[in-house]
Structure 1
C-alpha cells in the first residue's frame, strides 16, 4: 500500500468523505447498524475464502468477519452531532489458526478521531442502550435473526415497531449506501481503471494461449491465473466460458466441455481488485480465425455496441435511463435481424424472437463493488460518476434454427461487453484495453501461436 492508505487505493480522507455523505442523508435521531459478512463453510471446519460485505468495506475498509459499524446521528440541537463506532475482534491465540487480525489498537491508530474502535464483545451491551434512545433504526432484519430479535426486545418489544403504538421505524441500510455507491469518486474510478487494466491483460494473454481441444475449465484457469498474478484477489464472479452452441446460454457456468476447432467461445469474466470489479465479455474464435458467418454476426454486434456507447454520450444533454438505453439497443437488434440476416418476419414476430432467445437480456446495468450495482429503478436518470455496462448480444442458438434462413449461422452466439464511465462531458470506456476489433483479435492470436506453438491441454 502507498503511504496514508487505509486499504489499497483509498486514504482516511476517502472514508471520512463517505461517512460524512452517509450522515448527510441519515435522518436526525437515527441509529445505523451494519454488520460484516458472516463466514461460510464448505464442510465442517473448512471455510470458504472470505469476502467482506461490499457496503461494510465501502464505509470502513475492514476485511474481517465478526465486526459491526454503528453510527448515531443526533438532533441538530445536540452538543454531539454524531458518533461512529467500529466493533472488531481482539487479537488472540486464534491467529495461529486463522491468520492475523488488526485488533483494536492498530485500527484506532489508523482511524484516529474519525471512528472510535472497540472490542466486539461490548457490541450488544452498547447496542441495547442505543436502541432505546433512537426511533429510526437503519438495520437489515434479514442479516441476523438473533440480532433482530435483540433489537426488538431492547427497543421495548414488537409493539414499538409496528401497530397503533409504533414509535420506532426500521429502514434497510442498503437503501442509503447504494445511493452513495452509485456515483464513483475520483479514487474509485482510478481503482476500477487499475482493475480494468488487469482484466485486459488477462484477456490478451488468454487469446494468445487458447487452442482447440482445450477444456473450458482450462480456459477459465488461464484467465484466473493471468488476473491473479497481476494483483487481482479473485475473478469478480463465476465466469461464463461457453464454446460452440454453449455460447448461447447466457449464464452458462458448467465450463466443462472441450472446445472444438471452428468454435467461437464467449467469455464473460473479469478481475476483482480490492473490493472493486469489472464486467467484461469477449467472443472470439478458438482457432484464432473468424469464419465468414462468425464475422458477420460478430461485426453486427460490434456495430450495435458502438452505437449504444455513442447513445450513452447523450446523458449530458438528455434524460437517459436504463430503460431508454435498453430500448435503443433493442431497436438496433430488430433492425439487424431484418436487414443483415434476412429474417423475413413481421415486427411482432421479430420482437418475440428477440425477447425469447436472440436477445433475452438487458443491454446494461450499473457496476462497481457488485457486478450488478443497485439503482432505485430502471427509470431513474443516469448521470456523471456512474459506471454502466454496454453488452448487446445476438444468439442464434440451434433451438431457433428454423427461423434463421442461413444454416451457416446456426449455433453462433456473440456478445461484447464493456464498462462505460459517464462523465460531466461525455463517456470513457474503462475496458478499452481489452481487444475487440476483428483484426486486432486475429493478430494477437496469431502472435500467440508463434510465441507458444505447443500450448495445449492435457
Structure 2
C-alpha cells in the first residue's frame, strides 16, 4: 500500500499553480538528529516534503520552478557509507523511482538553487525553517552580486506553508486508504491493551502491548509518544512517563496511534483496569460518551468546524451540573468557561501526516466549514484533579477521554477507527473475554 509517483508529481504541479507566476518553491526534508554521542534517532521525513515527493531519505531538498519542473537534491550513492548506514537511492534512483525531472547530489545544491532562482521573481519556502531561510538569503545575495553579469535575483520571499497546508487539509483516496490502515492498526493495539491490562502491572508493560501490535502490523513507530495513564495520571493531558503501577480500581486512559506510510492514527480510550467501572467512573464516562455522540453528529459537510466543540461543551457542562460537580445555569457556566476546570482542550484537531495536522481552523474570521476529504479527531474528555476540593471526593482523580478519527464525507461522517468498543457495556463485555 503506497502512493504512486504520479500522485506526487501532480501535487507539485498543483502547488506551483497555486503560487504567483514566476515563483520557485523550495522545501527540505531535514537532517539526521543525534540521540547521544554517535547514535542517531531513526529518520522521519518532514511531512510537507514527503507530501510532495514521497522521498524518505535525510538531507534532501526539492526545488520546483514555475513550469512544475522538479529538481530533487539528495545524498549521492556512496558504497562505503551504505555499508555502514544502508541503501541510498542516489541521483539516478531519485529520478527513476520518484518521478522528478532531474536530480543532483547534495554538494551541488548551491548550483542547482542558483540556476533555478536566476530570473525568478519570487522564492517560496516554509518560513519556519530557519536553516533554509538562511540558505535562500545566501542564494539571493549571490545572484544580486552577479547582476552586472546578467543575473536576476528574486525580489519577493513568500511563505510556502499556507499553500501546502491547504492541499494537505483535503485527503485524496490514496491518503484515506493509508489513514484507515493506520487507524485500524491503532484499533487492534487498543483492543490488545484492553485484554492485557491487569492491576499490579506497570504502565510501560501495557505500552509494550501497544508497540508490539503496531510493529507486527507494519507500523514501525507510533505517530506520537504513547500516553498510558492510570488513575489520576489520566488528568495530565500529555502524560508520557508511563512508569507508575496500575492499581485495582483505576481507570486507564490510553492515547496512542500508529503511524503507517507516514500517516497518523490517533485514538484515546479509557477503561477500568479490573474490567468493571465503578458507579462514579461510569457516571462521568457516560457524560463524555454522550458529548462524543452529540459532537459526531455535527461533523458533516458544510458545518462549521467549531460546531462539534460547542455541542460537546454543552453536553459536558450539563452533565457536570447534573452530577453536582458544577452548580448554576448551564449557559452562564459556558459563557464564563467554568467547565474549563474539568475540560480544558478542544474537541478535536486535523489529522494526517502530522497527528496535529496543518490547516487553519478559521477562514476570514469565521469557523471553517467542513469539506469532504477532511480528516479530524473528535475527543471530548473530563478531568477531575486530585486537588479539586470543590467536588465530592468520589470524583477526584478521575480522568476520561474518548477519541476517534473521522473522515468527512458527503454521506455523513465516517469513523476510520471503527470496531473499537466505546460504550460502557461494550468495553466491559470485551474485557471480560480475558479477565
* Normalised TM-score (structure 1): 0.87
Match in the other structure for 1:163: none
Q: What corresponds to 1:14 in structure 2?
A: 7
Equivalent position to 2:368, from 380, 395, 406? 380
1:452 match: none
Report the equivalent of 1:3. Answer: none
Counterpart in 2 of 1:180? 167
Q: Is the 8 A contact 1:394 1:414 kept in 2?
A: yes
Over 3 Å counting, the alpha-carbon distance change for 1:354 and 1:370 in structure 2 is: farther
1 CA distance for matches of 2:316 and 2:338? 8
> Per-residue CA shift, 1:39-86, capped at 9, x if unaligned?
11012311111111011111111110111100000xxxxxxx342111
Question: What is the aligned partner in structure 1 of residue 401 from structure 2?
Answer: 415
Q: 2:238 aligns with which of 239, 248, 251?
A: 251
For the Cα contact (< 8 Å) 1:132–1:156, is it kept in 2?
no
Pick from 133, 136, 140: which aligns with 2:122? 136
CA offset at residue 107 of structure 1?
2.7
- Which digits, 9 at most, give the CA deviation of each residue in 1:249-296, with x for residues without a partner? 111122121110000011111100011011110000111111111111
Alignment of 1:316-395 (within 5 A): 318-321=302-305, 323-341=306-324, 343-347=326-330, 348=332, 354-378=338-362, 379-395=367-383
Contact 2:203/2:228 (8 A) holds in 1: yes
Distance in 2 (alpha carbons) for counterparts of 1:257 and 1:415: 19
- Offset at 1:100? 0.9
**Contact 2:120–2:154, Cα closer than 8 Å, also in 1:** no
Secondary structure of residue in 1 paired with 2:104: strand
| Mean Cα deviation higher: 416-425 or 115-124 | 115-124
**Given that residues 57 and 63 in structure 1 are in contact (C-alpha distance below 8 angstroms), is that contact kept between their aligned partners in structure 2?**
yes
* Counterpart secondary structure, 1:312: coil
**Separation of aligned partners in 2, 1:341 and 1:417:** 25
CA contact (8 A) 1:131 1:154 kept: no
- Once residues 32 and 295 of structure 1 are traced to their aligned partners in structure 2, the CA distance between those partners, rounded to angstroms, is 53
228-237 or 136-145: bigger deviation: 136-145
Deviation at 1:356, TM superposition (A): 3.7
After TM superposition, give the deviation of residue 340 of structure 1 in Å.
Answer: 3.9
Q: Does residue 42 of structure 2 align to residue 49 of structure 1?
A: yes
CA distance in 2, matches of 1:350, 1:328: 11
Secondary structure in structure 2 of the residue aligned to 1:434 = coil
Q: Deviation string for 1:311-350 (max 9, x for gaps)?
A: 213x3xx4412x3332222122211111244632355456
What SS does the aligned partner of 2:15 have?
helix
1:207-246 aligned at under 5 Å gives the runs 207-246=194-233
Conserved? CA contact 1:239–1:267, under 8 Å: yes
Q: Distance in 1 between matches of 2:412 and 2:424?
A: 26
Partner of 2:148: none
| CA distance, structure 1, for counterparts of residue 63 and residue 325 of structure 2 | 61
Equivalent pair of 1:334/1:351 in contact (CA under 8 Å): no
Q: Distance in 1 between matches of 2:143 and 2:254?
A: 50
Partner-residue secondary structure (3-state), 2:97 = helix
Residue 88 (structure 1) aligns with: 74
Would the aligned equivalents of 1:233 and 1:274 in 2 still touch at CA under 8 Å?
Answer: no
CA distance in 2, matches of 1:235, 1:90: 30
Aligned-partner Cα distance in 2 for 1:36–1:226 = 28
1:27 equivalent to 2:20? Answer yes
Q: Counterparts of 2:378 and 2:75 in 1: how far apart (Å)? A: 42
Distance change (3 Å), C-alpha of 1:446 and 1:319: closer
**Alpha carbons of structure 1 residues 173 and 20: separation in structure 2 relative to 1, 3 Å:** same
Counterpart CA distance in 2 for 1:111 and 1:245 is: 49
Matched, 1:127 2:113: yes
Question: 1:398-440 CA distances to partner (integer Å, 9 max, x unpaired)?
Answer: 22231x2x43222211110001100122110111122212222
Residue matched to 2:51:
58
Report what 2:295 is aligned to. Answer: 308
1:354 deviates by 4.3
- The Cα of 1:20 is off from its aligned counterpart by 2.4
CA contact 1:132–1:154 (8 Å) conserved in 2: no
Q: Secondary structure at the match of 1:401?
A: coil
Name the count of aligned residue pairs.
420
CA 1:289–1:189: 2 relative to 1, 3 Å: same
Partner residue of 1:150?
Answer: 138
How far is the alpha carbon of 1:242 from its aligned partner? Answer: 1.2
Verify: 1:169 aligned to 2:153, yes or no: no
Aligned CA distance change for structure 1 residues 180 and 353 (closer, same or farther; 3 Å): closer
* 1:400 pairs with 2:388: yes
1:189 equivalent to 2:176? Answer yes
Task: Determine the structure 2 residue equivalent to 1:78.
Answer: none
